[in-house]
Amino acid sequence: MDQQKPRLRNEIPIVPLRDTVVFPSSMVPITVGRPKVKLGLDSAWANDRLAVFVAQKNPRIENPAPNDIYSVGTVGLIRRLWKVDSEYNLAVEGLTRVYLKEFSQIDPYVAVKVEEIPELSQKTEETEALFRNTLAKIKRYGELGGVLTLESSIHIFSTDDPNQLVNIVAASIDLKTSDKQQILEMVDTKARLQRLSELLTREIRILEISSKIDTETQERVGKVTKEAILREKMKSIEKELGEDEDTREIAEFRKKIREAGMPDDVREKADRELSRLAKMSSYNPESSYIRTYLEWLVDLPWKIKDHKKADVEFAAKVLDEDHYGLPKVKERILEYLAVHKLVGKIRGPILCFYGPPGVGKTSIGKSIARALDRKFIRVSLGGIHDEAEIRGHRRTYVGALPGRIIQGIKNASTKNPVFMLDEIDKIGTDFRGDPSSALLEALDPEQNNQFSDHYLEVPYDLSDVMFITTANVLDTIPPALRDRLEIINFAGYTEEEKFHIAKRFLVPKQVEAHGLSSKNVEISDAALREIIAKYTREAGVRELEREIAAVLRKVAKKVAAKAKEKKIKISPKMLRSYLGAQKFSKAIAETKDEIGMSTGLAVTGAGGEILFIEVTLMPGKGQLILTGQLGEVMKESAQAALSYVKSRAKILGLPENFAQKTDIHIHVPEGAVPKDGPSAGIAITTALVSAITKIPARKEVGMTGEVTLRGRVLEIGGLKEKVLAAHRAGLTTIICPKANAKDLDEIPKNVRRDLQFIFAEHMDEVLKVALTRALPKEKSSEKTAKEKKSSQEFPVSQPAV
């Protein structure tokens, strides 16, 4: 490297380099594959073996133009050149830095005219200090593990030329291409030393941080290794002394398994898993899974149960204390408990409390648990889509757990709790399985003594558990599951029942919840009845409780503002200031008899509702238009009603072809709410006849019943809910199928006193009551024998029941 530099030619081939900078006094290996550059190297090799090696600004450019390379490079002597396949491998020695003055040739290879950059070095005290500082940093760089070849180290510590030192160090250490090019282009020796010192300082800082991380990692690994070794030694010592911690854990598990009272097959399974755990190292990841599994097995109540027998009288007292009304429901529950007391175990159907929201289904389950002095477990099934929620996950999955039934049993710590499966009608189904199918085994008294949970992998006896389910609708419960349930219907409350519930339960509960007492506030009976009648219209009492809470919030505000405020008595006149304007009217929606409108009765998930049927006639082509988001069954009822009217055209005083030039539009208001079912048949027929004959329908009459093409009125369901809705709406007369007369006993006496019931077998009987005046008589006044018989056996005018 110290030999005399050769004389430079006027034009020298150029070699563009990717991410490489060649410095004087350095030896660099280079690989070349670009055809044009190889031609230039051939020319250089044939002459003086000199070429200009220059870094590209953007290494991605395949054929760089003059603007794509830096303006300063290094003339290098090609010491060796050998060809491998289509590439040239070079050993290049950097000689001197040069400016690229002019690109004198582009083809067949690129050549440039250059001007040599003189190496100006004036030795001053400052330069000497920078020189020594750089050498010290190089030494520190090497101590920290920085990469320096032996040859580079020898040259670095043997030279006394600052520029040569900068060139060798910059070529040897790992720097960015832009930083190396910056040093190459700098002319002033002092500036070059300062820049190199800055870059070395940065590299040393990075190496120190890396060294610190390595040290901490080694210390941490060493500590863990040391602990592991010591732990193994402790195990050996404890084993010799008979005090091994793992041995104690195994012994403790073995004791718990023996005392848990497991069946023989379950105990065998637990012993096998315990043997596996005993043979495993504590560092085996599977050991934690086995330990968790064994904990579940020993924590389950295999033989622990509440032995207190059902006291029917005490249960009746508890049910009356906790719930007002519901006599049929309470009677059925007491029968259930009486059989349980005599037999000791019930293998009959599972109870399903069915009814609208807010009628006390969940709370009565708690009362049953209190009456039996058992633990109460409630699991909400609403929105569950995964079968594993019921049966658990298999142990092969990370984070696997038993299903909700087994989890509930464990939390109860007894094998015979009262277990409520809430919202069983809201279970979903998707690609993860069908949870309702998983419930079939749990809710079948003939099978649940061998209930299989995927996580436990052993049968568990659920026959002692008293399962109770709740639902708002029955249609969404799969038939196979519904077949295992005994449905107990929770109908809506009457206004009288709501009044007593509010007075006995809701008002005291909300008074206490709002920090008040009987000394601060009193809600009069008249005010309570006003809230029930004019601010709520629901089957249950949740909205009523919210309205009571709204009143008491405002009272609490007044009491808090004036600590010495006198007792506030809430009267009906004050309700407007507390709750605003009345939300509902006691009277029915229609104030007068209307042509083409009748009042039907329906049952929804929230209880009974009244349903207005509207019919209008228009000139047209005999089309039947149905609107109001009607279901398929309700549309068929409308078709049947129209067919019946057409078949009775003569009786109605209409031409036989009246429908050919008339479009009939049937609409059921509240179009955003889906409606379906056949029970609106007689209401649709009445509205249709009213519109055609121009005879108004009576506004105070509500009706429900399915109609056939021959005009027969068929039995329907949900009569109690429908009648209660009619009573709430202020109707006075109810027309229903004669076959439903048997359901009248379910309706509260005070409601029956306020209503007149008309039981009809044929549509003709319905129309005589529902319309304000009689239909035109048929031209032939003779009646069929069947019609005469019907009139004699079922007179239209009936007294109120």
Burial 314-343 (b: 16+ CB within 10 A, else e): ebbebbeebbbbbeebbeebbebbeebeee
Residues 6+ apart with CB under 8 A from 592: 699
Does 722 participate in catalysis according to the annotation?
A: yes
Q: Which of 679, 690, 699, 720 is catalytic?
A: 679
The pair of structure tokens assigned to 731 is 């109707």
Burial 401-437 (b: 16+ CB within 10 A, else e): bbbbbbbbbeebebbbbbbbbbbbbbbeeeeebbbbb
* Length in residues, the chain: 801
Q: How many other C-beta atoms can be found within 10 angstroms of the C-beta atom of residue 355? A: 26
Q: Report the SS3 class of residue 1.
A: coil
CB 756 within 8 A of CB 801: yes
Rounded CA separation 120/187 (Å): 7
Output DSSP code: residue 745. Answer: G
Measured torsion, CA atoms of residues 610, 611, 616, 620, in degrees rounded to the nearest 10: -170
CB 80 within 8 A of CB 31: no
Residue that the structure tokens 């995927």 belong to: 454
Phi, psi of 756 (to 5 degrees): -105, 130
Q: Tell which residue, 292, 533, 478, 307, has the closest CA to residue 393.
A: 292
CB 368 within 8 A of CB 419: no
Helices (H), 453-541: 479-482, 495-501, 507-513, 525-534
Residue that the structure tokens 């582009």 belong to: 106
Question: Interhelix angle for 189-241 vs 245-259, to 10°?
Answer: 50
Rounded CA separation 613/628 (Å): 10
Respond yes or no on whether the N-terminal peptide bond of residue 108 is cis (omega within 30° of 0): yes
Q: Tell which residue, 247, 456, 467, has the closest CA to residue 349.
A: 467
Helices (H) and strands (E) in the chain, counts: 27, 24
Rounded CA separation 779/651 (Å): 8
Q: Which of 375, 415, 699, 722 is catalytic?
A: 722
The pair of structure tokens assigned to 432 is 């993860």
In Å, how far are 229, 284, 292, 349, 456 from 278, measured between CA atoms? 20, 12, 14, 45, 20
Q: How many other C-beta atoms can be found within 10 angstroms of the C-beta atom of residue 134? A: 21
Residue that the structure tokens 């005046």 belong to: 773
Question: Interhelix angle for 150-158 vs 125-143, to 10°?
Answer: 160
The pair of structure tokens assigned to 425 is 């009608």
CB 366 within 8 A of CB 428: no
> Catalytic residues, which ones?
679, 722
